[in-house]
Amino acid sequence: MPTVRDLKAKAGDEPITMLTAYDAPTAAIVDEAGTDIILVGDSLGNTSLGYETTLPVTVDDMVRHTAAVSRVTDDALVVADMPFLSIGVDESDSVENAGRMLKEADAQAVKLECGPHTVELTEKLVQLGIPVMAHLGLTPQHVNQYGGYPRQGTDQEAAERILELAEAHEEAGAFSLVLEHVPANLAADVTQALEIPTIGIGAGPDCDGQVLVVDDVVGLSEWAPSFSKQFGNVRAEMESAVDDYVSAVESGEFPAEEHSHEEADLEDLY
Ligand code: KIV
């Protein structure tokens, strides 16, 4: 199993691969494919819990789903996302919530959607033995502030703020940085400036690694962002299998003889 140190060492080498997973069967597939990092993202809210945003996701949700992923993951580093308001309000609550991901769910690190308020917290968590993956650029927990999910770091001042925050989180001890939906040239500059690996999503080709939401990759999502790429069509496969099942039950074709058994010794009860 790679450690956060292995991943730090990988910066600038072969690209780091990261994908989300939220349940055991998906995690097993993602792990067996040789993915370096499995992120149990709070995108769980959209992909699996039927919410419109990530805001309603709770710490208990994250613990349950991260534990399911950790149970079947042999090789990838498992990172648990910290959901909305689970960190950054009160330091001891933040530490306790992040600690639950390692103690109860067997994650090896946590990811924080970052801002100026997470620099000290990152330092504290790292001192306590909780490795931190920072996340800058588009941070979906700010959806109500943004009024949607717009590209970030598009003017000089915003780009400089992202670079400053990236450096501050590296200094505070973060072992890697996710950069979401920012210009590729900004992501390239941040990657140059940092020693820790950057992992991009909608951030161009020059990050040290890439991450996507697994439902988008396999083609299960009803909608995916423009920076994502669909590599399969699981939704069409599922729709066709479920349609076939419904038709087979309705027509009496299923269950057939090979799906049933009779017990010769049972007397008729009715
Ligand atoms: O929640 C999530 O899945 C994420 C990734 C998209 C980086 O934060």
pLDDT in tens, the chain (270 residues): 667 767 766 666 789 999 999 999 999 999 999 999 999 999 999 999 999 999 999 999 999 999 999 999 999 999 999 999 999 999 999 999 999 999 999 999 999 999 999 999 999 999 999 999 999 999 999 999 999 999 999 999 999 999 999 999 999 999 999 999 999 999 999 999 999 999 999 999 999 999 999 999 999 999 999 999 999 999 999 999 999 999 999 999 999 999 999 999 999 888
- Active site amino acids: 180
- The reply to whether 259 falls in a domain is no
Is residue 123 assigned to a domain? yes
Is residue 178, in this structure, part of any structural domain at all? Answer: yes
Residue 264 and residue 86: Cα distance in Å, rounded?
A: 59
Q: Distance from the CA of 212 to the center of ligand 1, in angstroms? A: 7
CA-20 nearest atom, ligand 1:
3
State which of 37, 42, 61, 82 you would mutate to test the pocket of ligand 1, scoring each by most atoms of that ligand within 8 A of its C-beta: 42
CA distance 183 to 180: 9
- Ligand 1 is surrounded, with C-beta below 6 A, by 20, 39, 41-43, 81, 135, 178, 180, 201, 211, 213
Contact between 69 and 110 (Cβ < 8 Å):
no
Question: Is 183 among the domain residues?
Answer: yes
In ligand 1, the atom with minimum distance to the C-alpha of 54 is: 1
pLDDT in tens, 206-254: 999 999 999 999 999 999 999 999 999 999 999 999 999 999 999 999 9
| Inside any domain, residue 262 | no
Show binding-site residues for 3-methyl-2-oxobutanoate.
Answer: 42-43, 81, 111
Provide the whole-model pTM.
0.95
239 in a structural domain: no
Residue 103: domain span: 4-232
pLDDT recorded at residue 2: 66
- What is the Cα–Cα distance from 215 to 231, expressed in whole angstroms? 10
Please check whether residue 97 lies inside any domain of the structure: yes
Residue positions forming the annotated binding site: 42-43, 81, 111, 113
Q: Which residue minimizes the CA distance to atom 4 of ligand 1?
A: 41
CATH code assigned at 129? 3.20.20.60
What was the pLDDT predicted at 9?
66
- Structural Rg of the chain based on CA atoms: 22
| Rounded alpha-carbon distances, angstroms, from residue 107 to 38, 64, 82, 137, 142 | 10, 11, 12, 24, 25
Contacts of residue 262, defined as CB under 8 A and 6 or more positions apart, other chains included, come to: none
User: To which H or E segment does residue 146 belong?
Assistant: helix 143-146
Q: Return the pLDDT at 4.
A: 73
Cite the annotated binding site for Mg(2+) by residue number: 42, 81, 113
- Domains identified in the chain, total number: 1
Give a yes or no: residue 11 inside a domain: yes
